[in-house]
Amino acid sequence: MRLCCRLSFLPTAMFSYQSLSLLPPKTILSAAASLTASALLLRTIADDLIPADIHHYFRNLFNRLSTQLTVVIQESDGLTPNHLFQSANLFLATKLSPTTLRIKIHKPEKDDQFTVTVDRNQPIVDVFQTIQCKWILQTESIEVRGNRDSNSRSELRFFELSFHKKHKETILNKYLPYVVKKAKEIKEENKTVKLHTVDYSGTDYWSSVVLNHPATFETMAMDVEKKEELMEDVDMFIKRKDYYRRVGKAWKRGYLFYGPPGTGKSSLVAAMANRLKFDIYDLDLREVQCNSDLRRLLIGTKSRSILVIEDIDCNIGLQSREFNKETANTDDDKITLSGLLNFIDGLWSSCGDERIIVFTTNHKDRLDPALLRPGRMDVHLQMSYCAYGGFKILASTYLQVKEEEQLGLFRRIKELLNKVQVTPAEIAGELMKKGEDVEIVLSNLIRWLEMKEAEIMTAKSPSVHH
């Protein structure tokens, strides 16, 4: 009898399915709503009738049968930010797919670029060594206790990373460190370089602006060999974290740029900052009132930065330790050479990594030998007058012209540069005059150099005649 009932039901069901397309849409929607309501009712009844122990048993059974493992990465642990969450947020912004429907965009006030991050409930799939990794940003509302009569609600953010449980060791030991490493590279690549200057009105004594200096090593009008040596030294310094740690040295490098004014010392610092994506801290020691202020300023600098102390020879009291000894009893609060050296060697070196310090001077011979030794100024680079190689770089940058295009004019300029001493800044100033007609600009530069040559000959002529 039961079998007959089932057989007699089949044609009716088949008939209903085949004729479903003939029903009005309103009838179909009504039926769907009824089925959904019935399902919810049955689930409610089941939750009420089935004991909690049985619920717990089946939940554990399903979990054991599931092949997926989910790792939860919270935004913070109490008041401590989770670096892995921040790295994942930055990393996943580069993994957005055409199916992603929502993203978040943020622009800091002092940055030129937009920051893109993922939004919640947007699944993002990444593949690592053929392992499929599914990320979802989730949020959870939590109650924050305040006073007796007032509580507030806060939002807790966390990532859920799901993958096949057999890949647990690979994900934890290889994939997540890879995410952190890639996030660091992305952050460094997208970093907006800033220039920090002394500001006693602030809490950390520094204020910053975006460094928009266009200088690069390619546009620097300096000796080609010196430029290449400096680039190699800078690049090697960045890659030697493990080396510095192994030998027990602070991860810092000191440079001394010396030469006449206008030879490009400040522009070279900007070129280094743009190449490394390092912030610049411009420290004018004449603005610093005492050693305690100097200590506070140095502590306020961050890792991956360049500390610049320009015209070190012009700072009173820093040229000679003998001078410091003579004035030690009367100027205890003044900045001294020994104080500066102690801060650089000790406190400043130990409170951060990847630090570069650059001293500039027009007169290297005025500096105390204590400043010049390796470990404080590891590389001494002389910035000289403009040679022919530097002029060709300037001509290419300012006029977009090469030697073979104006061979005759270039040869004459080369002859004159071998006779007169002019700085790259002076050459650049002449190239910016008289519009953009290449022949006119170069011809005027030749006349200007010939005038310089004539001045030299005039200055020499009285002594020759005598």
Distances (CA, A) of 314 to 294, 344, 398: 17, 19, 33
**Locus of tokens 């993203």:** 103
Beta strands in 215-354 (DSSP E): 252-258, 279-282, 305-309
Looking at residue 406, its amino acid is Q
Both 397 and 354 in a single domain? no
Beta-strand ranges (E) seen in 110-179 are 115-118, 124-128, 131-145, 151-164
Q: Give the residues across from 74 on adjacent strands.
A: 158
Tell me how far apart the alpha carbons of residues 464 and 456 are, in angstroms, rounded to a whole number: 13
One domain for residues 268 and 326: yes
Do the bridges between strand 279-282 and strand 194-198 make them parallel or antiparallel, or are there none, so unpaired?
parallel
DSSP 8-state code for residue 213? -
**Which residue, of 361, 382, 403, is where some domain finishes?**
382
Of the candidates 312, 311, 316, 336, the one whose C-alpha atom is nearest the C-alpha of residue 325 is: 336
Residue 339: count of CB within 10 angstroms of its CB: 18
Query: Are 371 and 392 in a shared domain?
Result: no
**Residue 401 belongs to domain spanning:** 388-457
Same domain for 409 and 287: no
Q: Kind of pairing, strands 252-258 and 379-382? A: parallel
d(CA 251, CA 235): 13
Q: Give the residue among 393, 409, 420, 414 at the shortest CA–CA distance from 444.
A: 409
Tell me the C-alpha distance between 269 and 191, whole Å. Answer: 17
Q: How long a stretch of residues is the chain?
A: 466
3-state secondary structure of 419: coil
pLDDT at 371: 79
User: What's the pLDDT score for residue 331?
Assistant: 47
Q: How far is CA 417 from CA 8, 391, 452, in A?
A: 108, 9, 10
Please tell me the predicted confidence (pLDDT) of residue 13: 43
205 with 333, same domain: the answer is yes
Q: Which of these three, 382, 403, 430, is where a domain ends?
A: 382
Residue with tokens 């680079």: 381
Query: Do 206 and 255 reside in the same domain of the chain?
Result: yes
Cβ-contact 383, 257 below 8 angstroms: yes
Q: Are 276 and 282 in contact (CB under 8 A)?
A: no
Please identify which residue in the block is written with the tokens 């205890």. 332
pLDDT of residue 190: 80
Closest Cα partner for 90 from 125, 123, 119, 118?
A: 118
Three-state secondary structure call for residue 263: coil
Token pair recorded at residue 25: 């849409």
Strands (E), 259-335: 279-282, 305-309
Q: Please, are residues 167 and 155 in contact by the beta-carbon 8 Å criterion?
A: no
3-state secondary structure of 16: helix
The answer on 398 and 298 residing in a single domain is no
Residues contacting residue 384 through CB under 8 Å, at least 6 positions apart: 222, 223, 259, 263
Segments of the chain with pLDDT less than 70: 1-26, 28-29, 32-33, 36-65, 108-113, 143-153, 202-203, 315-334, 346-350, 462-466
Are residues 222 and 364 part of one domain?
A: yes
How far apart are alpha carbons 36 and 32 in whole angstroms? 6
In a domain, 305, yes or no: yes
181, 293: one domain: no
pLDDT of residue 375: 73
Q: How far apart are CA 370 and CA 428, in angstroms?
A: 36
The answer to whether residues 293 and 205 touch, using CB atoms and an 8 Å cutoff, is yes
94 and 215 together in one domain: no
Q: Cα dist. 442→264, 311, 420 in Å? A: 21, 33, 16
CB atoms within 10 A of CB 217: 16
> Are residue 374 and residue 399 in the same domain, yes or no?
no
**Are residues 258 and 203 both part of a single domain?**
yes
Name the domain count of the chain: 3
The answer to the question of residue 55 being in a domain is no
Alpha carbons 375 and 368: distance in angstroms, whole number: 15
Q: What is the pTM of this model?
A: 0.69
Q: Does a structural domain hold residue 26?
A: no
Q: Is residue 375 part of a domain?
A: yes
Report yes or no on 29 lying in a domain.
Answer: no
**Domain stops at, among 190, 216, 249:** 190
Residue 63 lies in a domain: no
User: Residue 331: which of 315, 317, 351, 341 has the closest Cα?
Assistant: 317
Please report the pLDDT score of residue 10 as a whole number. Answer: 40
Domain assignment present for residue 241? The answer is yes
Q: Angle 292-297-303 (CA atoms, 0-180°, nearest 5)?
A: 135
d(Cα 313, Cα 365) in Å, to the nearest integer?
9
Q: What is the pLDDT of residue 8?
A: 39
Here the CATH number for the domain that contains residue 363 is 3.40.50.300
Q: Does residue 45 sit within a domain?
A: no
